[in-house]
Amino acid sequence: ICTRGASYIEVIALGVRDMAPYNYEHIKEPKVRFDLPGIEENFNFTTRSSRTPRGRDANFLEKNIMVVQLPDNPAYAPMLSIRAYDRRLGGLKTVLVGATSISLSSKLPWNSEGYVPPQYQLFDHAGAVDQVE
């Protein structure tokens, strides 16, 4: 797979909102892990745990930049994996409470057919996505 050279992925983790209880327990102190598997090395970082202002609406306010080699062909673009964990029992136990992934193929500026520029989509609180025109 031909790569384009050094590419930068910037992740700004503001926080989580309205996290539902998991196994009948409220979210107490969440943290989020970002993974970019499938490249030479696995790139990852984890936010610090937070309970400010409260667990289900925790703020992280962290920024991380990953320098990676991304493919020329968007069909081979990796997925950014996002997993939310909650610290339980005073930090003795960490449980996975949510997971998702984002395809980076639509985030590659050299993808002439499927590129979606940053801030092109508006997200409302209910989760629906609207296109900005």
- Encode pLDDT of 61-84 as tens digits: 999 988 888 888 888 888 999 999
List all residues 6 or more positions away from 89 whose beta carbon is below 8 Å from its beta carbon: none
Higher pLDDT, 65 or 128: 65
Q: What is the mean pLDDT of the chain?
A: 84
The model carries a pTM of 0.79
Query: What's the gap between Cα 59 and its chain centre?
Result: 14
List the one residue out of 85, 31, 90, 94 whose CA is nearest residue 58: 31
Q: pLDDT-based confidence at 31, cuts 50/70/90?
A: very high
Contacts of 9 (CB under 8 A, 6+ apart): 36, 43, 65, 66, 68, 80, 104
- Can you give the pLDDT at residue 94? 93
pLDDT for res 92: 85
Q: For residue 122, is pLDDT > 70?
A: no
Please check the confidence at residue 121 and state whether its pLDDT lies above 80. Answer: no
